Amino acid sequence: MKRVVVTGLGVISPLGNSVDEFWQNIVDGKSGAATITKIDVSKFKTQFGCEVKDFRAEDYIEKKEIKKYDLHTQYAIAASDTAIKDAGLDFANIDLEDRHDMGVIWATGNGGMGTFEDQLLEFHASGGVPRFNPYFIPKMIVDIAAGVISIRHKLHGPNYCTVSACASSNTALISAFDTIRMGKAKLMIAGGSEAAIIYSSLGGFSAAQALSKRNDDPATASRPFDKDRDGFVMGEGAAALILEDLEHAQARGAKIYAEIVGGGMAADAYHLTGTPPDGMGAALGMKKALKEAGITADQIDYVNAHATSTGLGDMSELHGMKTVFGDHPVAISATKSMTGHLLGAAGAIESIVSVLAVKNDIIPGTINTENLDEAIPEGMNIILGKSVKQTVNYALNNTFGFGGHTATSIFKKYTE
């Protein structure tokens, strides 16, 4: 099996649209939550979220092209272009034959749901006159961002979209990792994007009693593991990682952030939207990732928990961790307390957090959590408040999705 390394990062996020700004805000413990501005939320029970700020599509895409893409694809283009630049890649100067071994695996949970909603509202307002936008279908379908990124850079390797709800982009990352280590590609762009702060998404999650209703103080609404948590905070954005065969990265003199060494995918096979109290599916995914990485649980220094700030979900994950880690006091934090829940893009943005934790030996804190739930298993080392300086040789990133999907990735400090 080939060794696989991370050589480029890119984000469009509620905490900034550059990796440096995003990471600094994570380290500083800043919240990205505020009252929603994209839509009129005056009649909704939940009126806040973690929106992307100061995003200008024209900074990344020609103006005449913007109309062809849903917002989630615009975010995908921006994040992937940023990661490509960060990796020092210029695909225009790479031979066609080499680009046959370079591809894209991009994730989303909802795809062009905003486009779909807008088109149906227009159709209804017209009295049923079928004046559909000619770009409606390509803007709406979930696989389009993967295709657009490959077209944009003329990459002819493996190309597809992974959809596993909120585990989608971690699934994409693991799939890209597998593709490279099995020798089926030399370089892959992997990540995910989501633009689901729209009427139907906000209304649907609200009807499912999944969202926090802390409208009077949005910045403190996402409080994983807190006994007073009342639901998650919806986020949006995109994150991209450039993965490469180590030999390929070394040959071109690329900087290396970290090595990806394991990926575990499983299903808890339990419920449409809920997770089992014992965290069986989460534990299974983590165990598979550890086995693939060839390490034991006590070698993990940091876990970026899925921890959405929902009662059952947070506890299920912690019980799964207890099964895997036992008495090992691994540091745990939940960065959704700052970014909100990016749904299908959550795994990718939290992979970037995990990579930078390994690179910089910094463990982000969990903000807003003041009173830990008394039901949390004993011995859980949850990092609250500010980030801490600590050696991180291995970081583990958990993601779980509606339908029982679980995906866990493991990153290692790079050494030759």
Q: Which residues are catalytic?
A: 166, 306, 341
Count Cβ atoms below 10 Å from residue 288 Cβ, excluding itself: 18
Question: What's the angle, vertex CA 81, arms to CA 185 and CA 239, rounded to 5?
Answer: 80
In angstroms, the CA 345 to CA 158 distance is 20
In which element (H, E) is residue 5 found? Answer: strand 4-12
CA distances (Å), 343 to each of 235, 316, 339, 384, in order? 7, 18, 11, 23
Alpha-helix residue ranges (DSSP H) falling in 182-279: 199-207, 246-251
CA distance 275 to 18: 34
Q: Is 292 left (phi over 0), alpha (psi -120 to 50) or beta?
A: alpha
Q: Which are the contacts of 78, defined by CB distance < 8 A and separation ≥ 6?
A: 10, 12, 17, 55, 57, 59, 60, 61, 238
Of 398, 337, 383, 347, nearest in space to 241 by CA: 347
Instruction: Give, in order, the Cα–Cα distances in Å from 169 to each of 23, 193, 250, 253.
Output: 19, 8, 26, 27
